[in-house]
Amino acid sequence: MAGEHDTRLVEAASDGDPEAYRGLVERHGAEIHAHCYRMLGSLHDAEDALQETLLRAWQGLPRLSRRSSLRNWLYRIATNVCLDALTNRQKRALPIDHGALAGTDEDPSEPLAESAWIEPYPDGELEEGLAAPEARYERREAVELAFIAALQHLPPRQRAVLVLREVLGFSAREVAETMDSTVASVNSSLQRARATVEKRLPERSQQATVRSLGSARVRRLVERFIDAFERGDVDGILAMLTQDATFAMPPYARLYRGRQEIAASWLMPAPPCTELRYLSASANCQPAIGAYRWDDGARSFRPIALDVLTLHGEAIGAVTAFRAPSLLERFGLPGELCR
């Protein structure tokens, strides 16, 4: 049941008070945005979906019952906005999954359309822990790259059911109401979705790995990785990778697997040099580094990629280098660096 304060805000917002409406929805904005990202796998699409959700909510406020939960109502709108957006849309993927999802024969050395790829997510506003006691996955765990990639293998309605039940902790009845379905249908969809996702998730989440290492050790690991790059220490970089580590660079589809292939195809042809700089960051609740290259014209280091690291113990098991320089500022990184 909505609280008395929310009830007053709903009444004022329904009468056209924009400040009341802002006060009503701003407390839920970050979690609704994360929900849209989980559903869509794209930061840009999630932002569009959030705006559409807020517009529909504003238009529908007079129909919100005083006995209704504002949060549940917003999630219902957001879920249906996302389901509409997913209609006839290509599934997004990481390079490791691209062939299986897309079934295409594109040249992996050529960049593919932006809409083919999962995008990184700025996690600064995400809270720790479970969204509800009934949730199965932590809020931060549920934006890790592996989790978002696993969701892409689900049909949209199964995806919505799993996120609403297992991440957000809504009851089967609440999910059925959100999706205009039945409890039996929700439970059946959840069973199928669980089986698909669990096959594709690693044994250990990045949140569990980070907790076992501690934030100080993770920070030192990232600092060592940055230092090795800036010194051009190829052997040092390789020593920090697992034997079967992968390197990918969306929007390019090619995936490099194993230290030898990574060294031969990525590091040796153009080894790290003094024309590159790196800054630590966080994306998808995983350690990340922003990469910058010297630009003679701008007389500064300009962003070239955001590298999201997947840890396997104290080693790096995967580097996903998103070639999306315009995104770096969204992750708290500067748009340029001086010498």
Considering its fold, how many domains does the chain have in total? 2
- pLDDT tens digits along 308-333: 999 999 999 999 999 999 999 999 99
pLDDT of the residue at 2:
43
Domain end marker among 58, 89, 120: 89
Which CATH number characterizes residue 8's domain?
1.10.1740.10
d(CA 203, CA 197): 12
Domain end marker among 89, 115, 131: 89
- pLDDT tens digits along 245-261: 999 999 998 899 999 99
Question: What is the chain's Cα-based Rg?
Answer: 22
Q: Is residue 54 part of a domain?
A: yes
Average pLDDT of 105-134?
81
284 vs 103, which has greater pLDDT? 284
Q: Which of 47-56, 185-194, 221-230, 270-279 has the lowest mean pLDDT?
A: 270-279
DSSP-assigned beta bridge partners for residue 247: 256, 319
Q: Is residue 94 part of a domain?
A: no
Which CATH number characterizes residue 233's domain?
3.10.450.50
Residue 338 has pLDDT above 70, yes or no: yes
- pLDDT tens digits along 62-77: 777 665 688 899 999 9
Residue 101 has pLDDT above 50, yes or no: no
Which range marks the domain in which residue 19 is found?
1-89
Q: Is residue 311 part of a domain?
A: yes
Structure token pair of residue 72: 């549940």
Residue 223 has pLDDT above 50, yes or no: yes
Domain end marker among 74, 89, 104: 89
Q: Is residue 39 part of a domain?
A: yes
pLDDT of the residue at 26:
78
Q: Is residue 124 part of a domain?
A: no
Rounded (10°) CA dihedral 81, 83, 89, 93: 100
CA 312-133-35 angle, 5° bins? 65
Neighbours of 49 (CB within 10 A): 26
